Amino acid sequence: MASESRLYTFSPETRDKLRRFRLGTSRAKDPQAVVYQIDKHTLEIAQADETTYTNVQELGDELPDHSPRFILLSYPLTLPSGRLSVPYVLLYYLPVTCNAELRMLYAGAKELMRNTAEVGKVIEIAEAEDLETIEEKLGGAA
């Protein structure tokens, strides 16, 4: 068992929410995102709030300026071939202004979050404005 899985924890409720979100968004017509954070004292990874964002701009407005977050994103888009795709990705939000302790905390949990959430891809973003170009990063038609 990997060391990060002994250090960081997910409650059974959080694991269930992760599974339901993954399965429930696979046929979504609109983008859907939930934000997760790590409790610095208990090292538990949990949903930051009960909000499911359907607007990427609104999500960007809610992200903190100095603290990392994990964002699960299901983003329907049309591929250049004309086919509809709904990528399920982990956005690793790591602002340049966050302190070294938080950087290390989130860096250590990134792969565990990726595997537990069963996402296909991890995309690192440094600022909320990076969300404006998320469709390009996911490979959608311009």
In the predicted model, what is the mean pLDDT of the chain? Answer: 90
pLDDT in tens, 35-52: 999 999 999 999 999 999
Top pLDDT among 73 and 137 is at: 73
* Count of CB atoms situated within 10 Å of the CB of 88: 20
Predicted local confidence at residue 28, as pLDDT: 78
Residue with structure tokens 């017509």? 29
Q: What are phi and psi of 56, to 5 degrees?
A: -65, -35
For 32, other C-beta atoms within 10 Å of its C-beta total: 20
Q: Is the pLDDT of residue 130 over 70?
A: yes
Instruction: Evaluate if residue 12 carries a pLDDT over 90.
Output: yes
Q: How far apart are CA 81 and CA 125, in angstroms?
A: 27
Q: Are 128 and 61 in contact (CB under 8 A)?
A: yes
Return the pLDDT at 51.
92
Is the pLDDT confidence value at 122 over 80?
yes
User: Which residue matches tokens 């990076």?
Assistant: 130
At residue 1, the pLDDT reads 43
pLDDT reported for residue 137: 85
The residues near 133 (Cβ < 8 Å, ≥ 6 apart) are none
